[in-house]
A and B are shown apart, each in its own frame.
Chain A
Amino acid sequence: MSVNTVSKDQFKQFVAALIASEPSVVGVQAKGDRFVFDDLKSADALRLDYDVSILSPRKYVMPQKETLLKFEVGGDCQSVQDGKPLILLGVHPYDMAAINQMDELFSQDEYDTHYMCRRRQITIIACDVVSPSKNVFASSMGTATVQHGYDMLLTDVGESIIVEVRTDKGRVLMNHMPAARPASEDDLAKRSAVWEKNQHVLNKHVLECKPSYLPKLLEKNYDHPVWEEKARLCYSCGSCNQVCPTCYCFDVQDVVNWDMKTGSRVRVWDGCLLENFATVAGDHNFRKNRSSRFRHRLYRKGKYVPGKIGGQIACVGCGRCITACTADIANPVNVYNQLMERTDIG
C-alpha cells in the first residue's frame, strides 16, 4: 500500500506508542544469549537485530495449549474462541512464510475457526533479517524474503528503517508513526540491496537442489539407507517438532476442573517423532520404528504438506531443528543432499 522511511529514534517512539496504546504487543527480545518472542514491556527491549528466536512465533498463532470447548462432564459442549488482539513485532520472512502456510492449512477443507479467529486478530509486523543465525538456510528454501502475509514489513537499511504497509491493519498503526516520510528512490534501492544480500547470505547449509525438486527426490528414496543411518541416534524427543515453525500436529485432551462437573477440551502441540504419535486403540503403533518417524517428518516437510498447499515446501529454512537436535541428525539439508548424492535427477 505504501512504503515509508523512519529514523531509528522515530521507530523507537513508534514501538513505545504501540506498547502504550495497543492491548497486547509481543516482540523479539533477548533471553540470555538467545532470543525469544515475549510480551514487550519497553521499546528498548525489542531486538530487531536478532538472529533467530528459540521458538518461532507459531506459539502465538497456534498456542502450545489452546481451549477449544468448555463442557459439563458427560454433557453439552460450547465453543470457546479465546483469541485476543495482538501485535507480533519482528517476525522474520521465513517465519512469515511458515505462518502463511499454516493459514492455508487451517482454512482449507474444513475451516478451523479456532485457528482462524485467533489469526485474524493478530497484526504481524515482519522484519527482514539483519543477523543470519548459525544454521539458517532460508536462502536455499526461497524464504529469505517474503512477499505477503504481513501487515507491515520493516527493513533496517543502516541509519533508518523502511516501513512497508501492506494492509488496513498496518495502515492504522501508521498513526503511531507521524514522523514517517515516503521512502525515496534511494531508500528503496537500499532495501532492494538488503533483499538481494539476504537471498544469498541466509545460507549456512546449502541445499543442492531447488526446493521444488524435493517431492520428486523423496518419491524416489523411501527405502534409502539414510533414514536408518540417521534415526539410529534419534532420541524420539520431538525437539525438532517443537521448534519447527511449520509443525502443526496436535493432540486433544479433556481437562476436568476440581468441581468434577465442568472442564474444557484443549488442544496441545504434539510431534510425529514421539514414540506413540501413531498408536491406535489396542496399542498397535503404525510408526513404531524410529526411522519411520524420522522419515515421516522429512516427507511431511518435503512432499506430503506441499501436496496440500500447492507445492510450497513445508520447510522454511529457519535452521531451528538443526540447533535443537542434541544428536545432530535433524538437519533437513544434510538428509536431502545425501539423497541427492545417490539419486539420478531425471
Chain B
Amino acid sequence: MSKPRVAIFDFACCEGCQLQIVNLEEEIIDLIGVVDVVEWREAMSEQSHEYDIAIIEGSITRPEDEHRLQIIRSRAKVLIALGACAAIGGVNKMKNNFDFNEVKRCVYGKDAEMPHLATTTTRAVHEVVPVDFTIPGCPINGEEFARVVRELLLGKTPTIPDYPVCVECKAKENVCRYEYGEICLGPIIRAGCGAPCPTAGWRCFGCRGFVDNPNVDAAKEVMEKYKLTVDDLKQKMVLFNSK
C-alpha cells in the first residue's frame, strides 16, 4: 500500500502547532516513515496539489482564506483541524468582540487599509468547511497528534476526550486552582492536553474548547462559592472561547 500523502497548511495562526510536530524529534522520523509529506511550508519547500490528508492550522479571518480553504477541502480525502485557532477559532476570535476597523487601526496603525489586511469575522475551520477530525489545543499536544495520525492510518476513527481537564489534572496530583481562589476553566474544558497549565501552577485557559456538554450553569453558581463573579468567569473565557 502506498503511503498516504499529507499536506500541512497554515491560515491565521502562530504556526506553533506545526512547531509541536517538528518537536516530536525522533518521532518525526517515524512519522515520515508512514506518511508522505508533500507540502509543509514551515519545514520544506515543495508544494503539491495531490494529497490525501490535509492538516489545517489557523483560523479563517480574511475573505480570501475561505476560498483557499475550500480548494484544500475539495482536494483532501481527510481534513484535520490542528490547534486551537483551527479547532475553535481560538485567540483570533477575540477580534469578533470589537469593531473590525478599530481592531485594524489598533493592530496595524497607518497600514490598516492595506488590501491584504482586509479582515472579516474569525471562524474556526469547521465553520467554513466540513472537518473530519480535530486536534485542539494551544499548542496541540504532540502525543495526541501522533496518536491521531497512527489511528487514522490504521483505519480507526480517532477520538479525543469528551471529559473535562480535571480528570487529567487530578491524575497529576495538582491542587485545584479554586482552592487558591483562582478561576480555572478546567471543569468545562476538554481534556487531552494532560493538564500542563495547572501542573505548572497556572489555571486552565480553555485552549481546547468546551466539552460537548459543559455545565456552564454550575460554573456560574460555583463562582459565588469562591467569592468570584460570573463576569470574572466570562472574562477568562474571552481568550480562547469568544464566539
Which positions in A face B, CB cutoff 8 Å? 31-34, 36, 54-55, 64, 73, 232-239, 242-243, 255-256, 258-260, 269, 271, 274-276, 290, 323-324, 326-328
Contacts and interface: CB of A to CB of B under 8 A. Distances in A.
B40 interface: no
A33 B173 CA distance: 12
A260 B222 contact: no
B129 interface: no
A233 B218 contact: yes
Contact of B170 (A242, A255, A275): A242
B176 A326 contact: yes
Contacts of B154: 73, 256, 260
Given A54-B173, A258-B150, A276-B162, A235 B167 contact: no
B166 A239 contact: yes
B16 to A, nearest CB: 23
Interface in B161-202: 162-164, 166-167, 170-171, 173-176, 178-179, 186-188
Contact of B153 (A235, A260, A323): A260
Dominant secondary structure at the A interface? loop
Nearest to B168: A242
A232 B187 CA distance: 14
Given A237-B187, A258-B30, A326 B173 contact: no
Interface of B: 27, 30-31, 33-34, 146-147, 150-151, 153-154, 162-164, 166-167, 170-171, 173-176, 178-179, 186-188, 211-215, 217-219, 221-222, 225
A274 B163 contact: yes
Contact of B211 (A55, A73, A275): A275
Nearest to B220: A233
A290 B213 CA distance: 11
Interface centre among B151, B166, B211, B217 (most CB of A within 10 A): B166
A238 B163 contact: yes
Nearest to B188: A235
A237 B212 contact: no
